[in-house]
Amino acid sequence: MRIATWNVNSITARLPRLLAWLESTGTDVLCIQETKCSAEQFPYDELRELGYEAAVNASGRWNGVALLSKVGLEDVVAGLPGGPDYEGVQEPRAVSATCGPARVWSVYVPNGREVDHAHYVYKLGWFEALTAAVAGDAAGARPFAVLGDFNVAPTDEDVWDPAVFVGQTHVTPAERAALTSLREAGLADVVPRPLKYDRPYTYWDYRQLAFPKNKGMRIDLVYGNAPFAKAVSDAYVDREERKGKGASDHAPVVVDLDV
DNA sequence: ATGGCCGAGGTACTCGGA
């Protein structure tokens, strides 16, 4: 089974590339972030024609997540149970379902904006609720994984120049400790291989030629429990999808499982 | 080739992204 995660930065803007990519890769399950669409705008029909069922948690121009599956989509939960509000709103940042042999979450963790900003406090609270919500499945015998845009670079090796990020979000000890807590709950960082260069970055800013210069970050992560991690036969970042006109600023992370 | 931001809402420009 092939499972992947991709922050598409608007499913409407990305639809032609998304459909072509799904067909060319034969992906069975895709976790999508930043759909940036309302529930009504979601392209169910186009995806159904390619054989995908969809579970969607989306409410407009910001955020929004989805799960696509060709191998079944059962017991869908929209949202993060026990998750915090931001400015009084439960934002659409999580959706989970059982896809064939695996239980899967698609998550779009809050950005945080600036260290100690209210959004940063929200980000840490969101991680805390996520860890509590997944603890049971993480310790279970069924293959289980949380995939998505975690908005944290796990180590200094996961940013193109650590000096540039000093004092900024995505690299702080508190954010990295949140990832450590997830690992302590039983999830392992399934690190993909890069298709070029030495580091498996998944995000490159649109500005200042960041992609051609490989000024990237690894912030799109696959956190799987032991049965999931044991089944991984390959994992890679599809940087080809970051090329050219009409690309997202994130590349897909693809994981092949023997299940 | 991979090239100096992009997308949504709404129709000027602001917000969010990391």
Residue A190 exposure: Cα atoms within 13 Å on the Cβ side: 31
Structure tokens at A246: 């009409």
Distance, angstroms, CA A48 to C1' B6? 28
Considering all nucleic acid strands, name the nucleotide whose C1' atom is nearest to the C-alpha of residue A242.
B2
Residue A178's pLDDT band (cuts 50, 70, 90):
very high
Distance CA A17, CA A243 (A): 11
pLDDT of residue A95: 98
pLDDT of residue A35: 97
Domain A2-257, CATH among 3.30.300.30, 3.40.50.300, 3.10.129.10, 3.60.10.10: 3.60.10.10
For residues A202-209, give the mean pLDDT. 95
Residue A170's pLDDT band (cuts 50, 70, 90):
very high
Give per-residue pLDDT as tens, A127-168.
999 999 999 999 999 999 999 999 999 999 999 999 999 999
Domain locations along chain A: 2-257
E strands along A80-128, which residues? Answer: 94-99, 102-108
Cβ distance A224 to A143 under 8 Å?
yes
C-alpha A248: how far from chain center = 13
A248 CB contacts (<8 Å, ≥6 apart)? A6, A7, A8, A9, A14, A17, A241, A242
Distance CA A31, CA A226 (A): 20
Give per-residue pLDDT as tens, A68-106.
999 999 999 999 999 999 999 999 999 999 999 999 999
User: Is any atom of nucleic acid chain B found less than 7 Å from the CB of residue A60?
Assistant: yes
